[in-house]
């Protein structure tokens, strides 16, 4: 409807004129004939940027056996299913299908299976060093899982994790040397040490929040370091305290010792994972998920005693860290002062940030990466710390929450880009957006609206001065093709807000009204203008409809 | 009595050095919201800058001192450009910024270790070896020099922040960063000023401390942790609080050394800090003025 003036004009002759149709238009000007199929062809035509409609194109759906979609295996004796599976009927083919709603257990299973069998598939040349690194990985991953419980689940930004482990390791070693405790007692004693130290440092955690507490615990770490290294009881001169009882018999073959080390570290990792699962995923974790930082007031108003839950999680993980400290002492026959150093804290933070803070998979994967760089690539010398530093810089500069946050970050970014692209090509005209289209169940409605939109687009091209003039001359009766198409469309419209002519005084006063479309609800008056004749009222109504069409 | 005064002067000397770092940590936190844990690296960086200037350029003490301050400024601006400017408008800024500064201190420490080796370096005595005796107490020149120069530095910084246009911008950022950016104060530009000023303070504390102790790639860690503790006790974001806390902790150090022994300094110090923080979770400044919410 852009340029009416340049439109080619044509003359339309009324076919009824031969028989002398009374009062009709015999010959009127009309626009050039346009093919009404063209817009359908244009809409259907292949245009290069095709935009996908809907979500989860690539989600794998496994086929179902049989007709039932709800039959599934459970962990005996609980009601817990082995994998979180949802049964759906395919909307197109109506076949039953299964969707795995949570695929993480599959990845965990295969990763842990790999770790369990890795000693048997390693080449002999690297076996010893890699398995030693594997044992260290197990211990550090368990420490970091407990730390993740403190930082992520409890939301207490504590940097004294390694201090608890170190303190427990030193005290248990000292007790083992002086009282001759057997190795299996050390983790038990360590738990008591961890609990005691946990209670002491949990006190300020109740009052301080966030980074104030982090800085305080950084200082406490330094305090432990200075206290232990200057104390005579803990062997100030030798760089550490050694001589605790151990579960690794020195008379065994070296490979057996390494294997025992590796598998004990692995067992510790499994135990820490279970602890994480049962704290983070159960009641305490659920409570704390309601009370994230800065939303505490809401949680409190909902009746959640989040402080108690936080301290409980903190104490549980302190006990676990004490256990790990005792295990550490029994594992290495003692401990070095290094465990209290600032360097260890940085390394630990690197481990949990590279994977992503607050996630079990992040803690384990980050530990794996750092242990590989730190303990396996030893030939690199000090450069490995520079590599770790650059890795940390890369992660904090470009990732919102570590490697395991990439998925969410990528999806957010993709949705943002999709939204931008959508708004750039937004010419709706009543057509459904892809989002609406996937949400609506009546798919006919999508096509009805699409067809309606195409038809209106086409009719807009027909409207010009000639057509309006023709209608003004003769609102009823035989019309040219262009006007006829327009009138048919208007007459076929839905009942709500459909314009009608109201006769106030026959042959004198007519007004235009709009129907409500609802039975029992009266029509409303749309304008006060009074038309003298019914023909003028018809034309006024036609003009209103044309205006609505052009504006929509 | 004399040795108590002697220890108190010792404590104040050390506290004035750590106080500089504490004020630096405080200003950075309150103006930028950045928990800068790379002051240890900036400290060593400035110390090595001064050492290089002394070795290769000119050995005049005052020149060496200014070169140390200049190196501190460079270190601070470097941290600002690498961490603050790229991350300051991203989600989880506080924790990402803190980890970024830790990464810089990790990389920087290793680079210094590669270039200068683990052997400790010593800076010359800036203030000579003179002594003054006041009321039976002998004051050595370096102690007076350290106390005076840190007070002068602090006074200049406070004066600059109170009276200059840039200082006004920084104070506006401390009060309300959002409002400051709305009224046209550039966050990045202010970040560079703040980091330059705090870097200068760290640089001064580096040269002052390295002449009495020594300089090594990781010698900045202890001063940084002490500075952070002082800033914490004083209340992050408050210069007055940090100064008061530095003085209290200096006294504590002197008294503990006298009556309990040097091994227990850190213990009493942290007991003190924890008590203060349990009473006032926002530190001493919780009484004085409003500290920044995290």
The reply to whether residue B103 touches residue A208, judged by beta carbons under 8 angstroms, is no
pLDDT at A146: 94
Average pLDDT of the residues of chain B? 84
Give mean pLDDT, residues A278-305.
88
Give mean pLDDT, residues A394-414.
90
Beta pairing partners, A74: A81
Our measurement of the distance from residue A502's CA atom to the centroid of its chain's CA atoms, rounded to an integer in Å, reads: 57
pLDDT at B115 over 70: yes
Which residues touch A178 (CB under 8 Å, ≥6 apart)? none
- Tell which wins on pLDDT, A102 or A3: A102
Answer yes or no: is A439 within a domain: no
SS3 B137: strand
Q: Out of B236, B270, B278, name the one closest to residue A219 (CB).
A: B270
- Tell which wins on pLDDT, B156 or B267: B156
Furthest CA-CA distance within chain B: 59
Answer yes or no: is A175 within a domain: yes
A300 and A241 inside one domain: yes
Domain end (from A377, A398, A424): A377
A205 and A332 inside one domain: yes
Answer yes or no: is A123 within a domain: no
**What secondary structure, in 3-state letters, does A41-87 show?**
HHHHCCCCCCCCCCCCCCCCCEECCCCCCCCCCECCCCCCECCCEEE
Chain A partners of B222 at a C-beta cutoff of 8 Å?
Answer: 222
pLDDT at A6 over 70: no
pLDDT at A108: 93
Q: Count H helices and E strands in chain A, helices first.
A: 19, 10
pLDDT at A98 over 50: yes
pLDDT at A44: 78
Whether the CB of A199 is below 8 Å from some CB of chain B: the reply is no
pLDDT at B3 over 50: yes
A337 and A200 inside one domain: yes
Give mean pLDDT, residues B285-290.
56
Across A298-302, B27-31, B109-113, B132-136, least confident range: B132-136
A266 and A339 inside one domain: yes
Give mean pLDDT, residues B87-115.
89
**CA A214/CA B272 separation, integer angstroms:** 17
Q: Out of B94, B221, B277, name the one closest to residue A207 (CB).
A: B277
SS3 A243: coil
**CA B103/CA A22 separation, integer angstroms:** 94
Domain end (from A326, A360, A377): A377
pLDDT at A268: 95
pLDDT at A71: 66
Nearest to A203 by CA among A113, A81, A91, A315: A315
Answer yes or no: is A127 within a domain: no
pLDDT at A51 over 80: no
- Tell which wins on pLDDT, A76 or A195: A195
Whether the CB of A297 is below 8 Å from some CB of chain B: the reply is no
Which helix (H) or strand (E) segment is A421 a member of?
Answer: helix A406-424
The reply to whether residue A349 touches residue B102, judged by beta carbons under 8 angstroms, is yes
**CA B87/CA B83 separation, integer angstroms:** 6
Count the neighbouring beta carbons within 10 Å of the beta carbon of residue A43: 13
pLDDT at A4 over 70: no
Residue A67: which domain range?
Answer: 61-103
**CA A182/CA A178 separation, integer angstroms:** 11
Answer yes or no: is A412 within a domain: no
Cα torsion A101, A103, A109, A112 to 10°: value is -140
The reply to whether residue B229 touches residue A357, judged by beta carbons under 8 angstroms, is no
A16 and A147 inside one domain: no
For residues A508 and A51, the answer to whether their CB atoms sit within 8 Å is no
Across A210-224, B87-101, B133-147, least confident range: B133-147
Q: By CA distance, what is B117's nearest residue in A?
A: A382
> Which of B232, B252, B268 best tests the A interface by mutation, with the highest count of A CBs <10 A?
B232
Q: Model confidence over A483-503: pLDDT tens digits?
A: 999 999 999 988 888 999 999
**CA A284/CA B273 separation, integer angstroms:** 31
pLDDT at B294: 45
- Tell which wins on pLDDT, B97 or A240: B97
> pLDDT band for position B122 (50/70/90)?
confident
Give mean pLDDT, residues A73-89.
83
> pLDDT band for position A235 (50/70/90)?
low
Give mean pLDDT, residues A240-266.
86
C-alpha angle B169/B171/B172, rounded to 5°? 65
Whether the CB of B221 is below 8 Å from some CB of chain A: the reply is yes
Chain B partners of A357 at a C-beta cutoff of 8 Å?
Answer: 95
Domain end (from A348, A377, A406): A377
The reply to whether residue A207 touches residue B222, judged by beta carbons under 8 angstroms, is no
Answer yes or no: is A31 within a domain: yes
Answer yes or no: is A117 within a domain: no
The reply to whether residue A385 touches residue B270, judged by beta carbons under 8 angstroms, is no
From the CA of A141, how many Å to the nearest CA of chain B? 19
A329 and A245 inside one domain: yes
A356 and A460 inside one domain: no
pLDDT at A323: 95
Give mean pLDDT, residues A343-360.
90
A37 and A65 inside one domain: no
Give mean pLDDT, residues B269-291.
74
A325 and A219 inside one domain: yes
A349 and A285 inside one domain: yes
pLDDT at A50: 60
pLDDT at A60 over 60: yes
A325 and A224 inside one domain: yes
pLDDT at A117 over 50: yes
Q: Out of A223, A385, A400, name the one closest to residue B106 (CB).
A: A385
Give mean pLDDT, residues A179-200.
91
> pLDDT band for position A2 (50/70/90)?
very low
> pLDDT band for position A542 (50/70/90)?
very high
A277 and A372 inside one domain: yes
Q: Interhelix angle for A185-207 vs A306-332, to 10°? A: 150
The percentage of chain A sitting over the pLDDT mark of 70, rounded to a whole number, equals: 92
Answer yes or no: is A276 within a domain: yes
pLDDT at B287 over 60: no
Give the count of domains, chain A: 3
pLDDT at A442 over 90: no
Q: Interhelix angle for A161-179 vs A124-148, to 10°? A: 110
> pLDDT band for position B35 (50/70/90)?
confident
For residues A291 and A306, the answer to whether their CB atoms sit within 8 Å is yes
Give mean pLDDT, residues A512-528.
90
A522: DSSP letter: P
């Amino acid at each position: 409807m852009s340029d009416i003036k340049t439109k080619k004009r044509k003359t339309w002759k009324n076919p009824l004129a031969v028989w002398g149709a009374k009062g009709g238009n015999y010959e009127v000007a009309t626009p050039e004939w346009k093919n009404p199929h063209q817009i359908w062809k244009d809409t259907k035509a292949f245009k290069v940027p095709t935009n996908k409609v809907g979500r989860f194109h690539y989600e794998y759906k496994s086929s179902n056996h049989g007709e039932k979609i709800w039959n599934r295996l459970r962990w005996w004796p609980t009601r817990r299913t082995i994998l979180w599976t949802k049964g759906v009927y395919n909307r197109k083919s109506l076949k039953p299908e299964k969707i795995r709603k949570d695929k993480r257990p599959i990845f965990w299973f295969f990763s842990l299976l790999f770790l369990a069998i890795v000693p048997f598939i390693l080449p002999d040349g690297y076996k010893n060093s890699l398995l030693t690194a594997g044992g260290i990985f197990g211990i550090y991953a368990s420490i970091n899982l407990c730390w993740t419980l403190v930082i992520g689940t409890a939301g207490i930004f504590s940097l004294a994790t390694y201090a608890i482990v170190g303190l427990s390791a030193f005290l248990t070693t000292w007790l083992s040397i002086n009282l001759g405790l057997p190795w299996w007692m050390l983790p038990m004693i360590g738990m008591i040490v961890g609990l005691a130290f946990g209670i002491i440092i949990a006190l300020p955690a109740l009052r301080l929040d966030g980074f104030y507490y982090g800085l305080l615990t950084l200082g406490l770490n330094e305090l432990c370091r200075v206290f232990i290294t200057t104390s005579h009881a803990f062997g100030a001169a030798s760089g550490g305290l050694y001589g605790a009882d151990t579960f690794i018999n020195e008379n065994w073959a070296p490979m057996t010792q390494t294997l025992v080390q590796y598998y004990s570290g692995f067992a510790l990792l499994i135990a820490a994972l279970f602890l994480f699962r049962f704290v983070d995923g159960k009641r305490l974790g659920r409570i704390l998920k309601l009370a994230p930082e800065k939303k505490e007031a809401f949680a409190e108003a909902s009746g959640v005693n989040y402080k108690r839950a936080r301290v409980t999680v903190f104490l549980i993980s302190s006990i676990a860290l004490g256990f790990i400290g005792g295990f550490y002492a029994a594992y290495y026959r003692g401990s070095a002062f290094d465990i209290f150093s600032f360097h260890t804290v940085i390394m630990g933070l690197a481990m949990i940030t590279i994977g992503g803070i607050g996630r079990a998979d992040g803690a384990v994967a980050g530990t794996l990466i750092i242990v590989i760089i730190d303990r396996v690539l030893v030939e690199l010398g000090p450069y490995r710390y520079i590599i770790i530093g650059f890795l940390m810089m890369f992660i904090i500069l470009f990732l919102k929450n570590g490697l395991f946050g990439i998925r969410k970050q990528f999806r957010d970014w993709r949705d943002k880009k999709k939204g931008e692209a959508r708004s750039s090509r937004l010419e709706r005209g009543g057509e459904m957006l892809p989002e609406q289209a996937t949400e609506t169940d009546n798919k006919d409605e999508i096509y009805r609206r699409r067809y309606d939109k195409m038809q209106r687009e086409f009719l807009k091209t027909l409207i010009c001065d000639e057509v309006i003039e023709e209608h003004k001359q003769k609102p009823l009766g035989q019309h040219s093709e262009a006007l006829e198409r327009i009138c048919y469309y208007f007459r076929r419209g839905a009942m709500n807000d459909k314009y009608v002519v109201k006769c106030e005084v026959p042959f004198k006063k007519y007004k235009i009204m709009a129907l409500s479309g609802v039975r029992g609800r009266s029509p409303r008056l749309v304008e006060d203008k009074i038309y003298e004749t019914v023909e003028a009222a018809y034309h006024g109504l036609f003009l209103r409809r044309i205006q609505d069409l052009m504006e929509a | 009595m004399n040795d108590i005064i002697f220890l108190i002067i010792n404590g104040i000397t050390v506290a004035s050095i750590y106080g500089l770092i504490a004020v630096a940590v405080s200003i950075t936190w309150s103006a930028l919201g950045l928990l800068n844990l790379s002051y240890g690296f900036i400290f060593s960086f400035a110390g090595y800058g001064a050492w290089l200037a002394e070795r290769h350029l000119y050995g005049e003490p005052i020149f060496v001192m200014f070169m140390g301050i200049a190196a501190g400024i460079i270190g601070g601006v470097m941290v600002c450009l690498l961490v603050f400017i790229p991350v300051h408008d991203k989600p989880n800024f506080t924790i990402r910024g803190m980890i970024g500064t830790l990464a810089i201190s990790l990389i920087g420490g290793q680079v210094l270790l590669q270039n200068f080796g683990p052997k400790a370096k010593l800076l010359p005595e800036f203030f000579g070896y003179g002594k003054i005796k006041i009321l039976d107490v002998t004051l050595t020149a370096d102690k007076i020099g350290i106390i005076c120069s840190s007070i002068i530095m602090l006074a200049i910084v406070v004066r600059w922040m109170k009276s200059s246009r840039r200082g006004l911008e920084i104070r506006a950022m401390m009060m309300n960063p959002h409002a400051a950016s709305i009224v046209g104060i550039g966050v990045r530009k202010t970040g560079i000023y703040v980091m330059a000023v705090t870097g200068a303070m760290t640089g001064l504390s580096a040269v002052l401390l390295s002449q009495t102790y020594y300089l090594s790639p990781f010698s900045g860690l202890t001063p940084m942790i002490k500075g952070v503790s002082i800033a914490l006790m004083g209340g992050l974001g408050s210069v007055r609080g940090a100064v008061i806390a530095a003085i209290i902790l200096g006294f504590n150090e002197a008294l503990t050394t006298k009556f309990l022994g040097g091994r227990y300094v850190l213990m009493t110090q942290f007991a003190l800090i924890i008590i203060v923080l349990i009473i006032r979770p926002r530190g001493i400044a919780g009484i004085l003025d409003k500290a920044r919410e995290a």
